[in-house]
Amino acid sequence: MDKKDLRLKNLQLLREALRKLRQASKPKLAEETGLSVVTVNALMQTLLEKKEAEPVTEAVSIGGRPAQQYRFRGERRMALACYMYEENGRDKMVVFVENLLGEIVEQQEIYPEQVTKDIFPAALRPLLKKYPQTTLVVVGMPGSEVNGTLEVVDYPALKGMPFSKWLAAELDRPVYFTNDIHAAVAGSGNFFGKTVEEESVIGVYWPQNSPPEAGILLRGKLYAGRDGIAGELGHRFQREWQPPRDAVREAARVVALMTRIWNPHGMVLYNEKLRMEDLSRIIEICSREIPAKFLPTIVIRPDIREDYGQGIYALAGSYLQ
């Protein structure tokens, strides 16, 4: 690592420490990062010049000169996110604004009468005007963009359009599209912790009246494949699909299939027909084909919505960083 690379690495280390602490003195930042106070002093000047940090009122101390405190400016850049799902037979859109500290500064819930392309700029533009420091937009909905086009989507009015490209032009911001299962598996740190950054996790979702779909997380990064269809499990492109009669056997079939292909560390099964007490039977069925020691850690979640929202939040923060 040359001198320039080392400085950039140390700058990022200092930036993350100040973001974590939110406010700290240079001695405290040196303690947190393991860098010398001299190095922190030099690097802090860069953060001040870039307006990533700012000095705050000096701390009160008992005796001696108080140490100058510095604040991480989490509001200087923000992400705007929205995600769609069905709730009690109605389409629902959740919209929120997230800052660099991971704080949600505003959130709204919208129930559109119809899901057309026009509802997105209508819902998002007022928040962009209110928070002009918003630098990117994240959108989640059931479906898949293939080579930039919505080939598979639960909303007929959107099918076949270059959604992300179109919305980015409308809002004059980069737009990142993801679907429900990709977002849910992106939030799988709730179950597997920091290990997801070094391991592989697969989430599989069985919608009520549609074939299953999967999200693949490799070392903390979503993998969508060359054309964006990785995880579709091949069923979305069949003309006819019949729901399985036995949810447990279907889950075991998919676990065995994904174990053979990906050999993942963990799997999350989103299926409203499954309960945690079904886990032992799933493992027992899979073990007839694959030795149990090769099976991943399996988590069963009957409802995807909580993890879907958590994943959108995590992705927005990741893109913002």
Is the same domain home to 209 and 280? yes
Is the same domain home to 54 and 87? no
Is the same domain home to 108 and 85? yes
Q: How far apart are the C-alpha atoms of 180 and 195, rounded to whole Å?
A: 22
For the residues 56-65, what does the mean pLDDT come to?
62
Give 183-199 pLDDT, tens digit per residue.
Answer: 999 887 666 766 667 78
Tokens 């690097």 map to which residue?
43
Is the same domain home to 301 and 197? yes
Number of independent structural domains in the chain: 3
Domain assignment present for 36: yes
Residue where a domain terminates, one of 125, 153, 178: 178
CB 96 within 8 A of CB 81: yes
Give 29-43 pLDDT, tens digit per residue.
Answer: 999 999 999 999 999
pLDDT of residue 308: 94
Indicate which CATH number applies to the domain containing 100: 3.30.420.40
pLDDT band at 53 (very low <50, low <70, confident <90, very high): very high
Residues 6+ apart with CB under 8 A from 169: none
Domain assignment present for 24: yes
Give 198-222 pLDDT, tens digit per residue.
Answer: 788 999 999 876 778 899 999 888 8
**Residue 298 tokens, joined:** 């399996």
Is the same domain home to 201 and 291? yes
Number of H helices, E strands in the chain: 10, 15
Is the same domain home to 164 and 248? no
pLDDT band at 122 (very low <50, low <70, confident <90, very high): very high
Angle, to 10 degrees, between the axis of helix 119-130 and the axis of helix 163-171? 40
Instruction: Tell me which residue range forms the domain holding 138.
Output: 78-178
